[in-house]
Amino acid sequence: MRGLNSVLGLFITIGGALLLGGFTILLLGGDQRYGGPVFFGWDRVYYGGGLISIGSVVVYISLRKLKRTGVNVNNIMMCPRCGEAYNTDGMLDCKCPVCHVVLEDIKGFYKRHPEYK
């Protein structure tokens, strides 16, 4: 999980850089440090807008992926009686709130209880 998140963080950084570059081109025509405007007229809109849209897509996808992997799968446990999955985050005891039986690790659960497959 940690490794994936750092890759996503890198993608968000790249997306942010693309967005920044896009806005620089759109508003200033290029980075002033490299001898002033490089792009003029509609070129600014095309290149700037292009970079901004690519940057937005990269950031958007990365954030969505990040959100999905944000759920800690290790906290998901299964009820052997009703077959429901519960997130034990914030639970005082690892018991099913409906059946009041001790929840089981999701790992290998379907092997032990093939009837819930």
Pick 58 or 96: Cβ nearer Zn ion: 96
DSSP secondary structure of 1-58: -HHHHHHHHHHHHHHHHHHHHHHHHHHHSS-GGGTS----THHHHHHHHHHHHHHHHH
DSSP SS3 for 117? coil
Tell me how far, at minimum, the Cβ of 104 lies from Zn ion, in Å.
10
Tell me how far, at minimum, the Cβ of 77 lies from Zn ion, in Å.
11
Q: Footprint of Zn ion on residues 56-95 (CB under 5 A)?
A: 79, 81-82
Q: Is 98 in the site for Zn ion (CB under 5 A)?
A: yes
Residues that bind Zn ion (CB under 5 A): 79, 81-82, 96, 98-99
